[in-house]
Structure 1
Amino acid sequence: MIEISSKIKYSLLALLQLVKCYEQEEFLQIEQIASSQQIPDRYLGQLLMQLRRCGIVRSQRGVKGGYQLGKAPDQITMLEILTCLEGSGIQEHRDQRESPTMENMMIQEVWQEAAKAAMAVFGGYTLKDLYEKQQERKRLNPMYYI
């Protein structure tokens, strides 16, 4: 089973928060994002800097500064985010001690096929898609507080 790293999870949560403010062209400060998504602000600052270098977010200094999406939510794929944070997703890795047997090559081929399929799925989802899923779930599962 593939586990999602905290780096990816926190980045996606922060980006979903920025999607909410995209239409208003509003900048959000790290503290605002961190408190609403329960993300450690120092860690979030590092993640946002990395996302900024890839053009996924942009920043502005000053009192009204902060972060906002660098482009429209429907133009940012999960694959782009994963590649920005983790590097290229599909890597050919072969242990030098591994003998090039038919079985080892077969396993490597299946692993690569699975990785390509995962990359295709990630490439098919945008931030807009995730945001719409989030909104639909909120609509279907309203929280009631007593």
Structure 2
Amino acid sequence: MIKPVELSCKTEYALLALLELTACYNEGEPLQIRQIAAIQNIPDRYLEQLLATLRRGSLVRSHRGAKGGYVLGREPWKITLLDVINCLEGSNAKASKSDTPPKTIESAIVGEIWQEVHDRADEVLQKYTLQELCEKRDARRQLDIMYYI
């Protein structure tokens, strides 16, 4: 079965990194690339590129120096998953509408449905913030701990 909306490896790694930054947001201490990479098993060089893109999109800020690293660019409850995807993939990454009109009624209908799929995906991604992802992770970890007791 073809999935109309798929999560790219780039987006998944970025979300994992942002989840780590969200977890330490209240401490205000930056996390270094090597720390995030080790925790989430992300290649350092790739993570460096992702964080640079997120920095250009103002989703993270970098701090220089020996105790430097990355912090979130704004509060985690104000960064939606859609913000992250648009930053990494561009808002035009979705199926773009063609300038040429559809050749048949059928292709027009298929195009309308495909657009609806992407609109609904945007609604879901806009609904969740990094803070909510972090809370879901914490809740799941609690369940796992309780399961092992």
Note whether the superposition's TM-score is higher than 0.5.
yes
Which of 102, 113, 131 is the matching residue for 2:105?
A: 102
Which of 18, 22, 40 is the matching residue for 1:37?
A: 40
Q: Work out the number of aligned pairs and report it.
A: 143
Structure 1 gap segments, 5+ residues each: none
| Distance in 2 between residues matched to 1:55 and 1:3, nearest whole Å | 24
Which of 106, 117, 121 is the matching residue for 1:114?
A: 117
Aligned residue for 2:71, secondary structure, equals: strand
Which of 55, 62, 76 is the matching residue for 1:59?
A: 62
Aligned residue for 1:67, secondary structure, equals: strand
Question: Following superposition, which runs of at least 4 residues in structure 1 exceed 3 angstroms of deviation?
Answer: 93-96
Aligned residue for 2:65, secondary structure, equals: coil
Cross-structure match for 1:50:
53
Structure 2 gap segments, 5+ residues each: none
**Residue 91 (structure 1) shift:** 4.0
Aligned residue for 1:63, secondary structure, equals: coil
| Distance in 2 between residues matched to 1:95 and 1:13, nearest whole Å | 37
**Residue 65 (structure 1) shift:** 0.4
**Paired-residue identity, %:** 49
**Residue 141 (structure 1) shift:** 1.3
Which of 96, 117, 126 is the matching residue for 1:92?
A: 96
**Residue 114 (structure 1) shift:** 0.7
Please show how residues 67-86 of structure 1 align to structure 2 within 5 Å: 67-86=70-89
| Distance in 1 between residues matched to 2:21 and 2:98, nearest whole Å | 39
TM-score by length of 2: 0.90
